[in-house]
């Protein structure tokens, strides 16, 4: 891939002299959905698919962007003097937002750059292509201009850019999983204080399989911000009865005791998901440490039911993929992953069942939905890096 993106850079920008190649992964969340902005735990991992970037410093303040995923758009020109939060600038708002966020933190960019991107993450799949671009951009700026920022800083800057430049009220999970990725490990992250531990993923005789629904979805135009607002309403009402900082501070028993403080049935169900999903995630990681992959799978399944019934973010596409997966012998667990309303499911499938899984789920999905899903048997990879 390195040679492919360098050749394309030379074709687009005339030559590739002085250009460097970078990579940032995508991510999948194994369990712990819509808990990251509710002060709960998440359990994501970085993938070996992601975003490749070729960048070269310029002598002026001009910015030139090109994406091999959106070739019809051609080269998009801008400037460091034209970084305007909330502007309708399509995909370039993700790298621009990070440049803006660096400058907001006092790290002034001395010059512009030519940038070419090629993502191997399916666009709109919910595997965090936007966060991958954000972390990639941060890694480029750090390398080019010598900024003293850690990988964890790159995650926080990426989230800040998403919240304040792109106006999407996302939590920290996506950027953190991508920036802090470690091969063959998932990250057990407490989003309330960013304490985390790496947990080895030893799926003896099984693989992680991602099914992409091919229903395109954007965080900003989904009901993501609405769900977050509903949880904030529930939290504010609970705080009148119990001393908590976030929904993640409650366990199931405490939620049952105080839930009547939430006056709206809808907000109560949203909060119940956030509380119960957090506890499921804690139990799932414990099960994995004990080698109980079957229990991990059961908790994945329960996560999907909660996301479907209490949080209402699945939809017919994701429900079809998951419910068909549950019918197949050899599927240990299956659930939607990401924000929902489209995107992907993640399943743990025994090796001998993978071909059967892809065939049967794919056929049933096409029959029900009218178009095909795409399947990826994925591996867990490292975080952002320069490809020397």
Sequence-distant (6+) residues with CB within 8 A of 238 are 244, 247, 250, 258, 261, 262, 271
Distance CA 323, CA 310 (A): 17
> Bridge-partner residues for 374, per DSSP?
212
Strand partners, 24: 51
Residue 174 among the catalytic residues: yes
Which of 174, 190, 221, 251 is catalytic? The answer is 174
| DSSP assigned state of 345 | E
Reduced to 3 states (helix: H, G, I; strand: E, B; else coil), residue 62 is: strand
For the chain, state the CA radius of gyration: 21
Question: 14: which 2 tokens?
Answer: 């005339």
- The answer to whether 287 and 320 have CB atoms below 8 angstroms apart is no
Distance CA 323, CA 186 (A): 25
- 3-state DSSP call for residue 244? coil
Residue 149 in contact with residue 138, Cβ under 8 Å?
Answer: yes
List, by residue number, the catalytic residues. 174
């Amino acid at each position: 891939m390195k040679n492919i993106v360098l050749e394309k850079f030379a074709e687009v920008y005339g030559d590739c002299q002085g250009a460097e190649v970078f990579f940032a992964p995508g991510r999948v969340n194994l369990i712990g959905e819509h808990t990251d902005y509710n002060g709960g735990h998440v359990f994501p991992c970085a993938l070996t698919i992601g975003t490749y970037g070729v960048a070269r410093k310029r002598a002026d303040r001009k910015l030139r962007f090109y994406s091999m995923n959106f070739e019809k758009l051609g080269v998009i020109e801008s400037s460091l003097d034209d970084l305007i939060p909330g502007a309708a600038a399509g995909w370039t708002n993700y790298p621009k937002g990070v440049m803006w966020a660096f400058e907001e933190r006092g790290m002034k960019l001395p010059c512009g750059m030519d940038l070419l991107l090629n993502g191997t993450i399916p666009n709109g799949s919910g595997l965090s292509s936007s966060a991958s671009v954000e972390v990639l951009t941060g890694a480029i700026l750090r390398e080019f201009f010598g900024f003293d920022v850690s990988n964890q800083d790159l995650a926080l800057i990426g989230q800040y850019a998403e919240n304040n430049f792109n106006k999407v009220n996302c939590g920290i999970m996506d950027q953190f999983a991508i920036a802090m990725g470690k091969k063959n490990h998932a990250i057990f992250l407490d989003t309330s204080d960013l304490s985390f531990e790496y947990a080895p993923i030893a799926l003896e005789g099984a693989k992680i399989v991602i099914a992409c629904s091919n229903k395109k979805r954007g965080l900003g135009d989904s009901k993501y911000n609405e769900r977050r607002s509903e949880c904030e309403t529930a939290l504010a009402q609970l705080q009148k009865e119990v001393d908590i900082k976030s929904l993640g501070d409650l366990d199931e028993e405490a939620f049952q005791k105080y839930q009547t403080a939430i006056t709206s049935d809808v907000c109560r169900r949203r909060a119940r998901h956030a509380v119960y999903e957090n506890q499921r995630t804690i139990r799932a990681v414990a099960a994995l440490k004990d080698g109980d992959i079957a229990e991990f799978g059961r908790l994945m399944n329960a996560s999907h039911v909660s996301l479907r019934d209490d949080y209402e973010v699945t939809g017919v596409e994701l429900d079809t993929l998951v419910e068909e997966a549950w019918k197949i012998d050899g599927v240990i667990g299956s659930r939607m992953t990401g924000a929902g309303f489209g995107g992907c499911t993640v399943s743990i499938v025994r090796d001998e069942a993978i071909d059967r899984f892809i065939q049967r789920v794919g056929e049933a999905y096409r029959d029900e939905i009218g178009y095909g899903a795409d399947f990826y048997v994925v591996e867990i990879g490292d975080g952002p890096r320069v490809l020397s």
